[in-house]
């Protein structure tokens, strides 16, 4: 990546770490640990308030900086290759691992779940599928439309964000919560924010504006305190503001971190971390459960599983580059180009 966008890699690196830590915490809580410790609940809620919107904002931002290649049909096929292959492959691996290790997993899956992945993504794999469809939706549209078109587009996406809980609550029979339509409605607006307000993001990051940095951090923390207290009337509005402010806060932090080869490396390889994190921290959790007596207040298991969720995928990815171009499973577009 170009040096001027080093901060994007750092932001993705921070985001990847937060995703793993958040998933590890909730994974342990579902297993019955740390459920009475309010601090873990708050940390989990803060992470979940913005960690995936952050990646959507970054994706939109990067799209605004890219130049389309080939015809629209070629662009669609390339997107399907880039995201569809990892989505299908790692969803299948995830389902089969859950079936084989059924006695050790918290949430069981079956072959039926794999057959339904065109409509109901398998757990955390939803992000790849959502990103693929959002990119495809955007192809017929300009990445730099007239201002009125941008306003209308973002307004409609925000409407989708706010009606998403209504559909979820009033139509439980269609399993809307687990469907790809739910994930798109819930996240599309953040992608558009990164896409249409890329100039604003570039300006505040290049100028390192301290006011925006501090303000976004205060809003993020204050919003999550209100949400955590459960004494909020306009909960959805605060969730929306917290997601945007948290994303902006991490982007600003990334600029202030002038150099971090580790975070840049993690950010450049966020894809392997995302698709393999579940295998890694679950394997670490199973081993720790068997050989280590965990108490509900110890940080050691969380640290070990989080570290495993980050390092093991990176090791597997590096090994994949050495054998038969297996890294194509993570980045198929590196070898399969439609244009």
User: pLDDT tens digit string along 131-158?
Assistant: 999 999 999 887 777 888 889 999 999 9
pLDDT for the residue 296:
53
User: pLDDT tens digit string along 181-217?
Assistant: 999 999 999 999 999 998 888 888 777 778 888 999 9
Higher pLDDT, 316 or 104: 316
DSSP assignment letter at 82: I
pLDDT for the residue 41:
87
Domain ranges of the chain: 3-334
Residue written as tokens 């079936």? Answer: 99
Confidence band, pLDDT 50/70/90 cuts, at residue 101: confident
pTM of the model: 0.91
Report whether 272 contacts 26 (CB < 8 A).
no
pLDDT for the residue 2:
45
User: pLDDT tens digit string along 65-81?
Assistant: 888 888 899 999 999 99
Distance set, CA 221 to CA 47, 154, 308 (Å):
11, 25, 28
For residue 81, give the 3-state DSSP assignment.
helix
Report whether 24 contacts 283 (CB < 8 A).
no
Which of these, 329, 265, 339, lies nearest to 82 by C-alpha position?
329
CA angle 222, 223, 226 (to 5 degrees): 85
Does residue 297 register a pLDDT over 60? no
Which of these, 21, 44, 25, 36, lies nearest to 297 by C-alpha position?
36
Helix axes 270-291, 261-268, angle to 10 degrees: 100
Tokens found for residue 158 = 């925000």
Burial of 160 (0-12, 13-18, 19+ CB in 10 A): middle
DSSP assignment letter at 338: -
Across 87-96, 134-143, 217-226, 245-254, least confident range: 134-143
For residue 117, give the 3-state DSSP assignment.
coil
Distance set, CA 316 to CA 309, 320, 338 (Å):
11, 6, 27
Across 78-92, 278-292, 318-332, least confident range: 278-292
pLDDT for the residue 185:
95
User: pLDDT tens digit string along 1-10?
Assistant: 444 578 999 9
Mean pLDDT of the chain: 88
């Amino acid at each position: 990546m170009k040096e001027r966008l080093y901060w994007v890699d750092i932001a993705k690196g921070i985001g990847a770490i937060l995703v793993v830590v958040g998933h590890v915490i909730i994974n342990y809580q579902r297993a019955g640990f740390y459920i009475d410790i309010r601090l873990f609940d708050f940390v989990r809620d803060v992470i979940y308030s913005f960690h995936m919107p952050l990646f959507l904002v970054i994706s939109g931002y990067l799209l605004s900086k890219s130049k389309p290649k080939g015809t629209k049909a070629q662009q669609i096929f390339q997107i399907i290759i880039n995201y569809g292959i990892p989505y299908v492959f790692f969803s299948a691996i995830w389902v089969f691992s859950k079936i084989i290790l059924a006695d050790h997993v918290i949430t069981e899956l079956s072959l039926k779940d794999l057959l339904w992945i065109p409509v109901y993504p398998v757990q955390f794999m939803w992000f790849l599928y959502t990103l693929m469809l959002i990119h495809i939706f955007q192809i017929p549209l300009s990445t730099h439309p007239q201002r009125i078109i941008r306003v209308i587009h973002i307004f409609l996406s925000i409407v989708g964000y706010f009606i998403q809980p209504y559909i979820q609550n009033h139509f439980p029979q269609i399993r809307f919560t687990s469907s790809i339509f739910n994930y798109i409605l819930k996240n599309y607006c953040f992608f558009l924010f990164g896409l249409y307000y890329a100039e604003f993001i570039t300006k505040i990051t290049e100028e390192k504006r301290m006011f925006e940095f501090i303000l976004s951090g205060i809003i993020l923390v204050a919003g999550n305190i209100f949400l955590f207290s459960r004494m909020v009337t306009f909960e959805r509005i605060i969730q929306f503001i917290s997601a945007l402010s948290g994303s902006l806060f991490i982007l600003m932090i990334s600029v202030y971190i002038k150099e971090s080869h580790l975070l840049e490396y993690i950010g450049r390889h966020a894809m392997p971390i995302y698709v393999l994190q579940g295998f890694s921290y679950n394997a670490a959790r199973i081993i720790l459960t068997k050989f280590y007596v965990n108490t509900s207040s110890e940080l050691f298991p969380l640290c070990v599983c989080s570290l495993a969720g980050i390092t093991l995928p990176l090791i597997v990815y590096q090994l994949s580059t050495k054998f038969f171009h297996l890294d194509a499973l993570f980045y198929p577009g590196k070898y399969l180009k439609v244009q």
